[in-house]
A and B are shown apart, each in its own frame.
Chain A
Amino acid sequence: MGKQTTEMLKGTLEGIVLAILAVSPAYGYEITARLRDEGFSDIAEGTVYALLVRIEQRGLVDVEKVPSEKGPPRKVYTINAQGGAYLEEFWRTWSFLAERIEQLHQRIERTNEEGE
């Protein structure tokens, strides 16, 4: 993933992670793995970790600590009602943006074709 992808992802990653959690609860490393399955191949585990801390502090997810055989307990993240509301707004915002950008793209393409 290039620099531009990373930059663009910044604003949307919270929504993407919440969308993944809306499918089913998950551990941190599972979330990273699922992101990779979805084609977000270069996302650092630490980035996801920091994001999970952020959405936890903002009350968008419920967190349960599960003891682990080795090392610190693993945290399971579940989307809650507040997170659900955030996700709904995220989809609306996303549709709006995607539509606007695509329209702009089409208009410029047409202008270029007419100019040739």
Chain B
Amino acid sequence: MAAKWYELITGSLDDKKAYRQYKARIAALPEPYGTAAKAFERYFMYNGGITDGDSAVMITMLHDFADLWERAAVDQTPVEDIVGDDPVEFAEAFAAAYAGKRWIDKERNRLTETIQNLERKEER
């Protein structure tokens, strides 16, 4: 959720510092890595499926993300070798690896419980 990002920037001092460090690392990337990293960052921000409720996990994710692009820039790995042929799929897979608590989890549990309760009623 975009709100979470907002909290990183306005939240605890440590988070703010870590977030600023991350931003500086991305800003320092040479082209084409900078543009690629910023494009993914934008997608992460607007995609609600990214970690929610745990800023530590998000900070970890962002710094790992910066590691990935810095490494690619140093090794001169082509962007397409990093991303593969589907940028969206890569973004989703990357974010999914940081399975913190997500806002959707609550809804998933609710759905599961409702259906399970139905089954219990049928058994009676």
Contact = CB atoms under 8 A, between A and B. Distances in A.
B94 A49 contact: yes
A57 B84 contact: no
Interface string B56-71: 0000000010111011
Interface string A46-79: 1101110110010000000000101110100000
A46 B98 contact: no
Contact of A71 (B64, B73, B83, B96): B73
A71 B98 CA distance: 23
Interface in B60-115: 64, 66-68, 70-75, 77, 80-85, 90, 93-94, 96-99
Given A50-B94, A50-B96, A54-B97, A72 B84 contact: no
B97 A44 contact: no
Contacts of A89: none
Given A44-B84, A71-B71, A57 B93 contact: no
A29 interface: yes
A72 B97 contact: no
B76 to A, nearest CB: 11
Nearest to B87: A46
For chain B, the bracket of interface size reads 20 to 34
A53 B90 CA distance: 13
30 contacts: A29-B75, A29-B77, A42-B84, A44-B80, A44-B81, A44-B83, A45-B72, A46-B68, A46-B82, A46-B83, A46-B93, A46-B94, A47-B84, A47-B93, A49-B68, A49-B82, A49-B94, A50-B94, A50-B97, A51-B93, A51-B97, A53-B94, A53-B98, A54-B96, A54-B99, A57-B97, A57-B99, A72-B66, A72-B67, A72-B71
Interface of B: 64, 66-68, 70-75, 77, 80-85, 90, 93-94, 96-99
Interface of A: 28-29, 42-47, 49-51, 53-54, 57, 68, 70-72, 74
